[in-house]
């Protein structure tokens, strides 16, 4: 096979054609290419099939109809068994600090070089057509097209996982997905089979703490952290190995929604995250992440009070600090969702020389599963030739043929060793990938290391590291989820596990569920150890007070104060936010200066959950009219309930009164734009106990 990539070959083939259908013709919209069949035949009529007579049967002879319908019938490929719903974006990775001392991977050694990437974010449990905002882990998969081959870092937005061994993965996924007899619930862990499995799998308790935290309801894909989770190895030229954990940290800071907000967003805009990403990129506001590593030696690992090969454990940042060594910028939306986002095939086994795996048993199983799943999804061992999957460096070997082979290798030699062709590819002992040489000893068997037995210490550490509002959200999420579990013994078993995590948490959840007595604590041979709290595990502690990348909504009606709207808009834009006008009619509202202000969203379809902060600028008559509109009342009531800053003028104040909202310090006079912007940069956490009962 020649060293030319499959991608360039396809492009070359296209340029060899005679031009689509030969002719271009002039139509109302300008000149466009002829519509043709897949054989290049120009189609004269695309509205009616070939009939025996105008009202007669359709003829089998109609090959144009048959080709079109047959292709359509085969348009779908199996969706991913997990992570089916996703959003993919192109961008680049740039190293800012060399790790050449630790690794021979060029991408981690060459500062300033830009490596193209394709990054796909996903939910896990729901189908491809499910909503963007369920409570769920988010996939964070990055394909880095390095000059030494593709490196896929297939991670999540949570740094640990539910299970310690890949052999349990099918059971975990079966348990969380819709129940097999009834086909629901879709994209929700709040049901019996999930919690039944979890209650019998105590190793999942640490991950459960994360999944019940607001990390599992992110505000935006642009405001999530990403983690490679497993320990990997970096291996340098001398063959020395250093363990590494990979991290992505969002430039915009971490931010989540509130549960009530996430539920309402799901109805208002099922594509909330995808649209948010699309709009940010279209506006040139490119999402960016820092790339950071935690490096540690075997000797350091031996001193950790947990086993770093256990994927239900993390290494607290306070123990091994993060070193920021690069950045990723996502700056280009794909041309075609199916070709790129749907067909992109990530495999943790795609690594480059200088990076190697650890013995994490979850990772070891993943090394098999992904390649296998691509064969069933994409249907051919040639899936690497699909442009989004093809390496951007030369690649060549003696693999041949198979379904949908796009390459046309020349010559007689399709084997190795060979002596007949000088340019046939050969192995390269110097530059090629070499597995790190480890000495393994011990007995073979289906066993779990003793060092994997502590299931509660890091769950406790996570819970105790959270701020008070975050702890209340975890407890309330557990109450919500377990309230959807019909089987009493499953609910009780879960509270029994929570007693092992933190007695106060168990009491809050038991109380929230209305249990009459606290169930016995779960049996364990390794009770939780108290560890130092790690503030780095919080969201609130890591949140940035900023409006960068956020959106402010301004509710207006006929007669609203034009100057005030202008001032608010300018202040929000200056702070880095986007601004959207909401009005009862999309055509807009006639403002105080007589000008027509077009709306970006119509009130009934643009609730305040779409925004990070809102302003309500209304004339007296405009406010009186909106006081009778349920959508307007909900707009302000929800903004308040979701702890958002609200700027109001006298009309806005009247609407708040109609909604029964008693203003607090987060409700600001609209002309005081500086105070409003300061309040809008964060949520009004102190308000929460006044607007909802949390567990
Ligand atoms: Fe997985 C997809 C992340 C454990 C088997 N996984 C998939 C995707 C992400 C992850 C982000 C979507 C990639 C994309 O956007 O196309 N998976 C993880 C993480 C894990 C993990 C962070 C634990 C640390 N996964 C895991 C195990 C197995 C799998 C233990 C099986 C033994 N995962 C798959 C899969 C998927 C997948 C079935 C479905 C679609 C695909 O691979 O391409 O092979």
Check residue 27 and give its pLDDT: 53
Question: In this structure, are 142 and 14 located in the same domain?
Answer: no
Q: Which two tokens stand for residue 245?
A: 């954990």
CATH number, domain containing residue 470: 1.20.1370.20
Tell me how far apart the alpha carbons of residues 482 and 503 are, in angstroms, rounded to a whole number: 17
Alpha carbon distances (Å) from 66 to 48, 73, 632: 13, 10, 51
Check residue 535 and give its pLDDT: 95
Closest to 562 in 3D by CA, of 577, 547, 581: 581
Closest to 190 in 3D by CA, of 203, 200, 168, 175: 175
CATH number, domain containing residue 602: 3.40.50.880
Is residue 156 flagged as an active site residue? yes
Tell me if 412 is assigned to some domain.
no
β-partners of residue 153 are 142
Mean predicted confidence (pLDDT) in 545-573: 98
What is the largest distance, in Å, between two alpha-carbon atoms of the chain? 90
How many other C-beta atoms can be found within 10 angstroms of the C-beta atom of residue 636? 26
Return the sign of the alpha-carbon dihedral for residues 573, 577, 580, 581: negative
Q: Which two tokens stand for residue 661?
A: 């909202």
pLDDT in tens, 273-292: 999 999 999 999 999 999 99
* Ligand 1 centroid distance, CA of 141 (Å): 9
Q: Which atom of ligand 1 is nearest to the CA of 160?
A: 24
Question: In this structure, are 565 and 624 located in the same domain?
Answer: yes
Mean pLDDT of the chain, nearest integer: 95
Q: Which residues line ligand 1 (CB under 6 A)?
A: 80-83, 86, 120, 122, 139, 141, 154-156, 161, 166, 169, 229, 311, 344, 346, 362, 365-366, 369-370, 373
Span of 16-20, 185-189, 438-442 with lowest mean pLDDT: 16-20
CATH number, domain containing residue 184: 2.40.180.10
Q: Which atom of ligand 1 is nearest to the CA of 362?
A: 30
Question: In this structure, are 515 and 560 located in the same domain?
Answer: no
Task: Give the whole-number percent of the chain exceeding pLDDT 70.
Answer: 96
Check residue 680 and give its pLDDT: 98
Closest to 584 in 3D by CA, of 564, 598, 568: 598
Residue with tokens 């409006």: 547
Chain centre distance of CA 683: 23
Q: What is the H or E stretch that residue 98 is in?
A: none
Q: Which two tokens stand for residue 680?
A: 């809008």
Count up the domains in the chain and report the number: 4
Phi, psi (rounded to 5 degrees) for 247: -135, 145
Q: What angle do CA 568, 572, 575 make, to 5 degrees?
A: 145
User: 3-class DSSP state for residue 223?
Assistant: helix
| pLDDT for residue 21 is more than 50 | no
Question: In this structure, are 55 and 170 located in the same domain?
Answer: no
Q: Return the HEC string of 624-648.
A: HHHCCCHHHHHHHHHHHHCCCCEEE
Tell me if 618 is assigned to some domain.
yes
pLDDT in tens, 258-268: 999 999 999 99
Check residue 8 and give its pLDDT: 38
Tell me how far apart the alpha carbons of residues 245 and 363 are, in angstroms, rounded to a whole number: 13
Question: In this structure, are 283 and 228 located in the same domain?
Answer: yes
The half-sphere exposure of 147 on its side-chain side, counting CA atoms within 13 A, is 11
| pLDDT for residue 86 is more than 60 | yes
The domain boundary, picked from 487, 509, 541, lies at 541
Alpha carbon distances (Å) from 645 to 248, 475, 611: 29, 25, 10
Tell me if 205 is assigned to some domain.
yes
* Ligand 1 centroid distance, CA of 167 (Å): 13
For residue 661, what pLDDT band results from cuts at 50, 70 and 90?
very high
Tell me if 332 is assigned to some domain.
yes
Which of 150, 156, 157, 382 is flagged as catalytic?
A: 156
Tell me how far apart the alpha carbons of residues 102 and 356 are, in angstroms, rounded to a whole number: 12
Q: Which two tokens stand for residue 246?
A: 């990979």
Mean predicted confidence (pLDDT) in 426-434: 95
For residue 542, what pLDDT band results from cuts at 50, 70 and 90?
confident
User: 3-class DSSP state for residue 36?
Assistant: strand
Question: In this structure, are 468 and 534 located in the same domain?
Answer: yes
| pLDDT for residue 155 is more than 80 | yes
Check residue 4 and give its pLDDT: 40
Do the beta carbons of residue 580 and residue 607 sit within 8 Å?
A: no
The domain boundary, picked from 20, 43, 73, lies at 73
For residue 541, what pLDDT band results from cuts at 50, 70 and 90?
confident
Residue with tokens 């912007």: 677
Q: Which atom of ligand 1 is nearest to the CA of 86?
A: 15
Mean predicted confidence (pLDDT) in 632-661: 98
Do the beta carbons of residue 485 and residue 193 sit within 8 Å?
A: no
Do the beta carbons of residue 187 and residue 125 sit within 8 Å?
A: yes
Region of 549 on the Ramachandran plot (φ > 0 left; ψ -120 to 50 alpha; else beta)? left
* Ligand 1 centroid distance, CA of 370 (Å): 7
pLDDT in tens, 99-144: 999 999 999 999 999 999 999 999 999 999 999 999 999 999 999 9
Do the beta carbons of residue 339 and residue 387 sit within 8 Å?
A: yes
For residue 25, what pLDDT band results from cuts at 50, 70 and 90?
low
Mean predicted confidence (pLDDT) in 468-480: 98
Q: Which domain holds residue 350?
A: 86-385
The domain boundary, picked from 509, 541, 573, lies at 541
Mean predicted confidence (pLDDT) in 333-362: 98
Tell me how far apart the alpha carbons of residues 89 and 144 are, in angstroms, rounded to a whole number: 12
Tell me how far apart the alpha carbons of residues 461 and 245 are, in angstroms, rounded to a whole number: 19
For residue 18, what pLDDT band results from cuts at 50, 70 and 90?
very low
Is residue 382 flagged as an active site residue? no
């Amino acid at each position: 096979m020649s060293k030319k990539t499959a991608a360039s070959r396809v492009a070359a083939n296209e340029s060899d054609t005679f031009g689509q259908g030969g002719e271009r013709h002039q139509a109302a919209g300008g000149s466009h290419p002829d519509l043709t069949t897949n054989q290049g035949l120009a189609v004269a009529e695309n509205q009616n099939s070939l009939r025996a007579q105008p009202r007669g049967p359709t003829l089998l002879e109609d090959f144009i109809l048959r080709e079109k319908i047959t292709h359509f019938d085969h348009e779908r490929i199996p969706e991913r068994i997990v992570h089916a719903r996703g959003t993919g974006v192109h961008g680049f990775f740039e190293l800012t600090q060399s790790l050449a001392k630790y690794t021979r991977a060029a991408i981690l050694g060459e500062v300033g070089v830009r490596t193209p990437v394709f990054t796909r974010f996903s939910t896990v449990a729901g189908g491809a057509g499910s909503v963007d905002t369920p409570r769920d882990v988010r996939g964070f998969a990055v394909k880095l097209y390095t000059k030494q081959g593709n490196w896929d870092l297939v991670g999540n937005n949570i740094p640990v996982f539910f299970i310690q061994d890949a052999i349990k993965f099918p059971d975990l996924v079966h348990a969380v997905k819709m129940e097999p007899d009834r086909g629901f619930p879709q994209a929700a862990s709040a049901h019996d089979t999930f919690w039944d499995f979890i209650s019998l799998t105590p190793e999942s308790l640490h991950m459960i703490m994360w999944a019940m935290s607001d990390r599992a309801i992110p505000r935006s894909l642009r405001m999530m952290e990403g983690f490679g989770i497993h320990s990997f190895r970096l291996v340098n030229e001398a063959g020395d190995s250093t363990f590494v954990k990979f991290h992505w940290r969002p430039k915009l800071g971490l931010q989540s929604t509130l549960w009530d907000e996430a539920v309402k967003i799901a109805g208002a805009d099922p594509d909330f995250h995808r649209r948010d990403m699309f709009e940010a990129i279209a506006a040139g506001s490119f999402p960016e992440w820092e790339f950071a590593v935690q490096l540690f030696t075997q000797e350091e690992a031996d001193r950790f009070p947990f086993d770093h090969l256990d994927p239900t454990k993390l290494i607290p940042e306070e123990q091994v600090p993060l070193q920021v060594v690069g950045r990723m910028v996502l700056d280009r939306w794909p041309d075609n969702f199916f070709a790129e986002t749907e067909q992109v095939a990530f495999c943790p086994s795609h690594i480059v020389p200088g990076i190697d795996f650890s013995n994490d048993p979850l990772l070891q199983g993943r090394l098999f599963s992904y390649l296998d799943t691509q064969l069933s999804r994409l249907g051919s061992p040639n899936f690497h030739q699909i442009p989004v999957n093809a390496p951007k460096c030369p690649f060549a070997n003696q693999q041949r043929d198979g379904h949908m082979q796009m390459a046309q290798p020349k010559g007689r030699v399709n084997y190795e060793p060979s002596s007949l062709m000088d340019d046939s590819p050969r192995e390269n002992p110097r530059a090629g990938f070499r597995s790190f040489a480890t000495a393994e000893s011990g007995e073979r068997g289906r066993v779990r290391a003793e060092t994997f037995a502590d299931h509660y210490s890091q769950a406790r550490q996570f819970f105790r590291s959270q701020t008070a509002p975050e702890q209340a959200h975890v407890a309330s999420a557990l109450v919500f989820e377990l309230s959807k579990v019909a089987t009493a013994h499953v609910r009780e078993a879960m509270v029994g596990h929570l007693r092992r995590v933190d007695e106060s948490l168990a009491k809050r959840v038991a109380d929230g569920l209305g249990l009459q007595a606290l169930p016995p604590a779960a049996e364990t041979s390794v009770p939780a150890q108290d560890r130092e709290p790690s503030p780095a595990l919080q969201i609130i502690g890591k949140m940035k007070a900023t409006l960068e990348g956020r959106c402010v909504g301004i509710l207006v009606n006929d007669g609203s104060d034009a100057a005030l709207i202008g001032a608010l808009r300018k202040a929000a834009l200056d702070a880095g936010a986007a601004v959207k006008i909401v009005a009862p009619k999309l055509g807009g509202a006639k403002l105080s200066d007589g000008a027509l202000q077009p709306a970006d969203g119509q009130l009934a379809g643009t609730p305040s959950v779409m925004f990070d902060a809102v302003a309500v600028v209304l004339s007296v008559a405009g406010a009186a009219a909106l006081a009778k509109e349920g959508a307007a009342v909900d707009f302000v009531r929800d903004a308040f309930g979701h702890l958002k800053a609200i700027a109001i003028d006298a009309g806005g104040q009247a609407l708040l009164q109609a909604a029964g909202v008693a203003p607090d310090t987060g409700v600001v006079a609209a002309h005081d734009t500086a105070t409003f912007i300061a309040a809008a940069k964060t949520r009004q956490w102190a308000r929460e106990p006044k607007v909802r009962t949390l567990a």
